[in-house]
């Protein structure tokens, strides 16, 4: 026998199946099957089948149906006392089989039975109550099955299902924990962490509760998994330094400064120890190469290093202040209570590292430098030459232990003539490893006249002789590329940049770079980017021939300037394309398919572009500055924004390009404005206005930028600048400029309380933005319309406008403004009197602000007031 109560009630007995459909007989059988094995009283049967207000003679009707049912299914229903019961094996009934399968861990089979609604043809209070109770059972089984699937690694497949469940049950912490695990397992850890913050905010605002212990445990595990792991790969091979490693192990949390001459192995020691000690710092390891002794302009500023650390610690960019002291304080806050290791490699002086020292109890800092830095309360660890045995072992690891054991005297000679410096041994060892058929004694003989490497403690030994020996093994083309790499202005170079530097095709350049890497003359710290030790770079630059130096550097700067223009246009498609020269022969100009590709390139090349700008021709320099302006502003690199535009202005002053100078002066004003240097910003913009004499569109753009500098108590003044700008844009027929000005006026009238005028201007500009398919322009205009309609008492119109504004900001990717639009949407719903929709909109604003790291006290206050 088989019985179903999911969907319609059916019975299969002796190979004959009966479907009862929405009949009273089916309802009666279903009621008894749900409680199979239990006696159900006659009055209870009436209530279950006919509801709590049964018709007259209900008992008689029920008796008739029972008789017919017992005739249809003989022997199934038994009368016991004043009631009736179904006496069958419960596993023959799909509901009870479902429960058995769940208890025994076979949730997939159980869920397959329950695809239809329980007792779907019966609609009485009892049936609805049973269905509601079973919904909890079904959900629990479904979540048990999710656990099983997560354990089997189905993270990516489960994300959409769990996101839908989380939307239906936003306060269910088990679902939240599962979604967090699925997101993390899919490689979307940042989203997982944001979801935890959203759930925590909901629990606090709606229940006044903290997350449960399991959810907190999941969050802590997630934090550990997402902790920054910035250390470069450990050096291989690494030998010796036992005393120094022990000293690093025993140093208390604080600051340790490893000092020593170039090439002595400071970075290798610091990175090797950091990997070995990583478990002591479960909240992350931060690393930055400060390039303190690299080429001029390549050193990393404290501000840039702070921004890298704050980004690695997932501090939202919107929270980062503009000033160095504020950024340093924010880093201390971000590291408070966390056990983190920070490695500051290749520092030049105390001024470069002091702002980076958090001085928090659980943060440990290791600094490497050629100079004897003296941060307060720091532990100094001078690093001398490798002990002879360690030096021999390092060379043997490079060339092979069998080969080293076969020629111990030659090993001693090479070690002595490399002055026991790890860098020299690495280069010499790479040279020997590329010629395994040569006796090691040959290498030793070749080094015989390198008398700069006497066996003494002179740590200023001339490494150039060892480098020279290694370069002799290079092909002519490889040696030429090595010489030219010494000219690169930044800390590293891309494959396309190296090809441009050499004036060679990309495939040929790639082959030559592989040759240099085998010789241990360059490194590839990340795919497609190449660098080398600063001592090797200095030596390579010395080798560069006068005739090739200028041409090669010009090609590289051409590559950076012209490729950066392509990246700048891909990053901000609405910008005008500046006039660019034809690339020099041999220059590779890269193009970009998406905004994200352009952003990755611009941020990877940002240090190189900043270092290259002072060395470019006026045209190259200003084009690099133009390309950097938008990305540095949006990525909050405001000091570099200012510096790059100052360099670009100086370059343009040597060119006959009034439009370029005017645009760059606007960007310079923006840079000063971001740093709150408003007087200097105004000077730059006023000069731009003068430069644009006779160019109404240029002067109009200046006026709109001046308007944006006006504080809130000078709205009328800002409006006047905007009106003047609009008149000029209309004079020259610049539709995009007109739309910008009209949008500014619409918002200005809102701030002045002239709501009808705001609506007038917003309705005038909306078709213009729509014709341009400009998402943010439409979003800002809907926002002004919403505020104006709210001010006019048109609450329904405000609801519509803010709904549109929030959607367009979402599509345009502006999280802070989307959050603000949802808050205003909640205000509009509250004004209409719809408390439920107001609460939902405010809650959404709170969630978005939480994700973006924005202040949310105002929204929380509105939610609290609504509850009270």
- 6-40 residue pLDDT tens: 988 888 887 788 888 778 888 888 889 998 888 98
**Average confidence (pLDDT) over 594-616:** 88
Lowest mean pLDDT among 439-448, 467-476, 659-668, 772-781: 439-448
Residue 568 scores a pLDDT above 80: yes
Residue 4 scores a pLDDT above 80: yes
| Whole-number pLDDT of residue 459 | 39
pLDDT mean across residues, the chain: 85
Q: How confident is the model at residue 383 (pLDDT cuts 50, 70, 90)?
A: confident
Structure token pair of residue 478: 């490889």
Show Cβ contacts of residue 416 under 8 Å, excluding neighbours closer than 6 positions.
Answer: 453, 455
Q: How confident is the model at residue 646 (pLDDT cuts 50, 70, 90)?
A: very high
Residue 449 scores a pLDDT above 60: no
Is the omega angle on the peptide bond into residue 651 within 30 degrees of 0, that is, cis? Answer: no
Closest CA to 485 of 452, 460, 517: 517
Higher per-residue confidence, 865 vs 815: 865
| Whole-number pLDDT of residue 340 | 92
Rounded CA separation 62/636 (Å): 77
* Sheet bearing 529-531, strands edge to edge: 493-494, 529-531, 523-526
Sign for the pseudo-dihedral over CA of 632, 633, 635, 638: positive
pLDDT digits (tens, 9 = 90+) for 747-786: 999 999 999 999 999 999 999 999 988 777 898 999 999 9
Rounded CA separation 731/734 (Å): 8
Dihedrals phi, psi of 254, to nearest 5 degrees: 165, -130
Residue 460 scores a pLDDT above 70: no
Higher per-residue confidence, 323 vs 737: 737
Rounded CA separation 552/821 (Å): 52
| Whole-number pLDDT of residue 27 | 86
| Whole-number pLDDT of residue 664 | 94
| Whole-number pLDDT of residue 453 | 39
Higher per-residue confidence, 597 vs 225: 597
Which residues on neighbouring strands pair with residue 85, listed in sequence order? Answer: 78
Higher per-residue confidence, 679 vs 547: 679
CATH classification code of 2-137: 1.10.10.10
| Whole-number pLDDT of residue 669 | 94
Rounded CA separation 794/783 (Å): 14
Rounded CA separation 616/343 (Å): 33
Which residues on neighbouring strands pair with residue 289, listed in sequence order? Answer: 345
Rounded CA separation 608/556 (Å): 11
Structure token pair of residue 628: 């950097």
| Whole-number pLDDT of residue 427 | 78
| Whole-number pLDDT of residue 720 | 93
Rounded CA separation 162/243 (Å): 53
Structure token pair of residue 575: 């910008």
C-alpha dist (Å) from residue 528 to 43, 163, 388, 523: 81, 37, 37, 11
**Average confidence (pLDDT) over 297-324:** 77
Neighbours of 545 (CB within 10 A): 10
Across 828-853, b (16+ Cβ under 10 Å) vs e yields bbbbeebeebbbebbbbbbbbbbbbb
Q: How confident is the model at residue 452 (pLDDT cuts 50, 70, 90)?
A: very low
Helix and strand numbers (H, E) in the chain are 40, 14
| Whole-number pLDDT of residue 350 | 84
Terminal C-alpha separation, the chain: 58
C-alpha dist (Å) from residue 204 to 270, 694, 843: 44, 59, 11
Residue 560 scores a pLDDT above 70: yes
CATH classification code of 242-382: 3.40.50.300
Residue 359 scores a pLDDT above 60: yes
C-alpha dist (Å) from residue 392 to 236, 402, 411, 518: 15, 13, 7, 21
Q: Which of 107-121, 197-211, 408-422 has the highest mean pLDDT?
A: 107-121
Q: How many CA atoms lie within 13 A of 560 on its CB side?
A: 36
DSSP 3-state assignment of 285?
A: strand
Q: How confident is the model at residue 451 (pLDDT cuts 50, 70, 90)?
A: very low
pLDDT digits (tens, 9 = 90+) for 845-857: 887 776 555 567 7
**Average confidence (pLDDT) over 263-289:** 89
Residue 163 scores a pLDDT above 70: yes
Fold for the domain defined by 755-867: 1.25.40
Contact 429, 469 (CB under 8 A): no
Higher per-residue confidence, 853 vs 324: 324
**Average confidence (pLDDT) over 830-858:** 77
Rounded CA separation 256/344 (Å): 10
Higher per-residue confidence, 690 vs 468: 690
**Average confidence (pLDDT) over 45-71:** 85
Across 427-441, b (16+ Cβ under 10 Å) vs e yields bbbbbbeeeeeeebe
Residue 813 scores a pLDDT above 60: no
Residue 741 scores a pLDDT above 90: yes
Q: pTM score, two decimals?
A: 0.60
Which residues on neighbouring strands pair with residue 838, listed in sequence order? Answer: none
| Whole-number pLDDT of residue 834 | 84
Which residues on neighbouring strands pair with residue 74, listed in sequence order? Answer: none
Lowest mean pLDDT among 403-407, 633-637, 709-713, 800-804: 633-637
Q: Which of 104-108, 357-361, 648-652, 655-659 has the highest mean pLDDT?
A: 648-652
């Amino acid at each position: 026998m088989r019985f179903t109560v999911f969907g319609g009630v059916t019975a299969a007995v002796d190979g004959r199946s009966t479907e009862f459909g929405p009949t009273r007989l089916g309802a009666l059988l279903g009621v008894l099957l749900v409680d199979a094995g239990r006696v159900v009283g006659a009055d209870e049967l009436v209530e279950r089948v006919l509801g709590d207000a049964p018709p007259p003679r209900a008992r008689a009707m029920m008796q008739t149906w029972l008789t017919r049912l017992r005739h249809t299914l003989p022997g199934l229903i038994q009368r016991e006392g004043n009631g009736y019961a179904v006496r069958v094996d419960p596993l023959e009934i799909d509901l009870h089989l479902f429960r058995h399968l769940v208890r025994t861990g076979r949730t997939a089979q159980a869920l397959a039975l329950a695809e239809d609604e329980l007792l779907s043809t019966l609609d009485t209070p009892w049936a609805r109550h049973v269905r509601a109770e079973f919904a909890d059972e079904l959900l629990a089984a479904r979540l048990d099955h999710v656990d099983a699937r997560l354990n089997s690694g189905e993270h990516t497949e489960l994300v959409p299902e769990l996101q839908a469940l989380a939307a239906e049950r936003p306060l269910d912490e088990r679902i939240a924990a599962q979604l967090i695990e699925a997101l993390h397992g899919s490689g979307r850890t940042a989203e997982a962490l944001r979801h935890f913050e959203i759930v925590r905010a909901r629990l606090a605002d709606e229940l006044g509760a903290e997350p449960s212990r399991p959810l907190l445990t999941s969050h802590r595990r997630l934090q550990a998994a997402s902790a920054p792991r910035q250390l470069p790969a450990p050096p291989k091979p690494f030998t010796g330094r036992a005393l120094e490693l022990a000293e690093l192990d025993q140093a208390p949390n604080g600051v340790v400064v490893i000092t020593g001459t170039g090439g002595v192995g400071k970075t290798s020691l610091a990175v090797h120890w950091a990997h070995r000690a990583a478990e002591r710092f479960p909240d992350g390891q931060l690393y930055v190469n400060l390039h303190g002794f690299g080429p001029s302009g390549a050193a990393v500023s404290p501000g840039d290093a702070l921004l890298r650390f704050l980004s690695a610690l997932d501090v939202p960019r919107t929270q980062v202040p503009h000033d160095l002291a504020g950024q340093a304080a924010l880093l201390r806050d971000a590291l408070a209570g966390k056990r983190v290791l920070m490695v500051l490699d290749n520092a030049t002086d105390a001024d470069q590292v002091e702002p980076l020292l958090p001085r928090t109890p659980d943060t440990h800092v290791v600094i490497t430098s050629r100079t004897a830095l003296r941060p307060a309360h720091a532990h100094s660890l001078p690093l001398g030459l490798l002990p002879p045995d360690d030096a021999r072992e390092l060379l043997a690891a490079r060339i092979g232990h069998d080969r080293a054991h076969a020629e111990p005297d030659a090993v001693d000679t090479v070690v002595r003539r490399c002055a026991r410096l790890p860098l020299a041994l690495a280069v010499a060892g790479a040279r020997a490893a590329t010629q395994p058929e040569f006796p090691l004694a040959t290498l030793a003989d070749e080094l015989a006249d390198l008398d700069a490497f006497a066996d003494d403690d002179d740590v200023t030994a001339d490494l150039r002789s060892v480098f020279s020996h290694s370069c002799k093994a290079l092909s002519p083309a490889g040696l030429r590329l090595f010489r030219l790499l010494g000219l690169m202005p930044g800390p590293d170079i891309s494959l396309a940049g190296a090809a441009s530097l050499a004036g060679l095709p990309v495939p040929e350049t790639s082959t030559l770079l592989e040759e240099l890497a085998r010789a241990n003359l360059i490194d590839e710290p990340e795919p497609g980017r190449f660098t080398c030790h600063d001592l090797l770079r200095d030596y390579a630059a010395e080798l560069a021939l006068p005739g090739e130096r200028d041409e090669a550097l010009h090609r590289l700067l051409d590559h950076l300037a012209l490729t950066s223009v392509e990246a700048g246009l891909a990053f901000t498609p609405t910008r005008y394309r500046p006039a660019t020269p034809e690339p020099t022969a041999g220059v590779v100009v890269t193009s970009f398919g998406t905004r994200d590709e352009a952003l990755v390139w611009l941020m990877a090349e940002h240090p190189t572009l900043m270092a290259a700008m002072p060395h470019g021709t006026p045209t190259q320099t200003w084009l690099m500055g133009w390309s950097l302006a938008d990305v540095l502003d949006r990525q909050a690199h405001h000091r570099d924004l200012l510096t790059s535009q100052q360099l670009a202005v100086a370059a343009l002053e040597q060119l006959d390009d009034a439009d370029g100078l005017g645009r760059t002066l606007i960007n310079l004003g923006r840079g000063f404005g971001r740093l709150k240097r408003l007087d200097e910003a105004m000077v730059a913009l006023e000069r731009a206005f003068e430069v644009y004499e006779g160019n109404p569109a240029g002067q109009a753009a200046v006026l709109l930028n001046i308007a944006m500098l006006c504080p809130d108590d000078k709205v009328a003044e800002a409006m006047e600048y905007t009106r003047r700008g609009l008149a000029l844009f209309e004079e020259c027929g610049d539709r995009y400029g007109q739309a910008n000005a009209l949008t500014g006026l619409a918002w200005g009238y809102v701030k002045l309380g002239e709501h009808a005028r705001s609506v007038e201007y917003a309705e005038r500009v909306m078709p213009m933005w729509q014709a341009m398919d400009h998402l943010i322009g439409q979003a800002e205009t809907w926002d002004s319309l919403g505020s104006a309609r709210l001010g006019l008492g048109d609450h329904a119109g405000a609801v519509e406008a803010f709904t549109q504004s929030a959607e367009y900001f979402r599509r345009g990717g502006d999280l802070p403004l989307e959050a603000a639009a949802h808050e205003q949407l909640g205000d509009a719903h509250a004004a209409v009197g719809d408390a439920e929709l107001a609460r939902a909109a405010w809650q959404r604003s709170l969630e978005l602000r939480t994700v973006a790291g924005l202040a949310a006290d105002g929204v929380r206050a509105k939610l609290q007031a609504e509850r009270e």
